[in-house]
């Protein structure tokens, strides 16, 4: 009898060519499936994620699921899998879920965060987890610009052109910008995100912040439904998949 297991996974994306398996590349999926194969004595176990992440992108709250015949108590799963994983991926919690649960299709909300490091001098310890953007940023302008993006819109202007997704309408529930120490952190909560959407939004808002664009331009960019109207794609290293929400809480710890 197979039981479905959901995993809360954290990873440092620096040394990965993204989440998804690609021939000859070190990916998160590859490492997790390798660990599960070891635990299942050589049997392949296919893992499904809430979504992919690109090269260098991090995850604090990625959710995966897989089916297993092993009778391991919930609280033992993380330790068992972690013992077979490299240090840059950690399973924080596991949970048995219903047989029809799907980490991707059942997701109702996703939160991403994006960290920008603004001091003049670089910080060697944060070079892989923040975007170093050493300019003076006008906070109020960024907030004003951000407000245009809230709600339900066609986000074509904020989607990488190389995508085959047809429906580009998404709902952005929250878009907060706040100072945390010497960083500026963007927090975006939405129904779902298009390819590169967070990074293009952040890149465009930063251009507003340094005076390269006026806040009201965001309305025009959205309406244009044209990627070339928005700003640059901010680099992947500042991006974190922070949390994936489902209709009910899957994990017991504060996720």
Q: Please enumerate, by residue number, every residue annotated as part of a binding site for substrate.
A: 112
Among the listed residues 215, 195, 243, 166, the one whose alpha carbon sits nearest the alpha carbon of residue 20: 195
Quote the least distance from Cβ 90 to a second copy, whole Å: 5
Q: Closer CB to a second copy, residue 44 or residue 87?
A: 87
Does 129 bind a second copy (CB under 8 A)? Our answer is yes
Q: Closer CB to a second copy, residue 90 or residue 187?
A: 90
Query: Contacts with a second copy in 89-108 (CB under 8 A)?
Result: 89-90, 92
Cβ–Cβ < 8 Å for 91, 251: no
Q: Give the H or E element holding residue 154.
A: strand 151-154
Piece of 7-15, 33-41, 43-51, 105-113 that binds a second copy (CB under 8 A): 7-15
Q: Give the H or E element holding residue 170.
A: strand 169-180
Binder among 1, 125, 136, 228 for a second copy (CB under 8 A): 125
Catalytic residue among 12, 54, 67, 154: 54
Q: Are strands 58-68 and 239-245 parallel, antiparallel or unpaired?
A: parallel
Cα distance between the two ends of the chain: 29
Residue 67 is among the residues annotated as catalytic for this protein:
no
Piece of 6-14, 106-114, 134-142, 182-190 that binds a second copy (CB under 8 A): 6-14
Which residues are 63's β-sheet partners? 8
Q: Give the H or E element holding residue 63.
A: strand 58-68
Residues of this chain that bind a second copy (CB under 8 A): 10-12, 58, 87-90, 92, 121-125, 127, 129, 253
Active site residues: 54
């Amino acid at each position: 009898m197979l039981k479905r297991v959901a995993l809360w996974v954290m990873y440092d994306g620096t040394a990965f060519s993204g989440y998804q398996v690609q021939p000859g590349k070190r990916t998160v999926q590859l490492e997790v499936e390798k660990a599960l194969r070891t635990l299942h004595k050589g049997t392949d176990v296919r893992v499904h994620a809430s979504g992919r992440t690109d090269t260098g992108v991090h995850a604090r709250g990625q959710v995966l699921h897989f089916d297993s015949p092993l009778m391991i108590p919930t609280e033992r799963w993380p330790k068992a899998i972690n013992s077979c994983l490299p240090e840059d991926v950690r399973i924080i919690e596991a949970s048995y879920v219903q047989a029809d649960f799907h980490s991707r299709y059942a997701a109702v909300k996703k939160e991403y965060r994006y960290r920008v490091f603004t001091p003049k001098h670089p910080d060697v310890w944060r070079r892989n987890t923040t975007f170093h953007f050493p300019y003076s940023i006008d906070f109020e302008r960024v907030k004003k610009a951000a407000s245009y993006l809230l709600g339900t819109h066609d986000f074509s202007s904020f989607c990488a052109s190389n995508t085959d997704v047809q429906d580009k309408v998404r709902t952005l529930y929250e878009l907060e910008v706040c100072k945390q120490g010497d960083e500026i952190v963007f927090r975006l909560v939405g129904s779902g995100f298009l390819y590169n959407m967070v990074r293009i939004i952040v890149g465009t808002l930063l251009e507003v912040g340094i005076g390269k664009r006026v806040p009201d331009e965001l309305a025009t960019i959205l309406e244009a439904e044209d990627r070339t109207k928005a700003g640059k794609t901010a680099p992947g290293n500042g991006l974190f998949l922070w949390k994936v929400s489902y209709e009910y809480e899957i994990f017991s710890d504060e996720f």
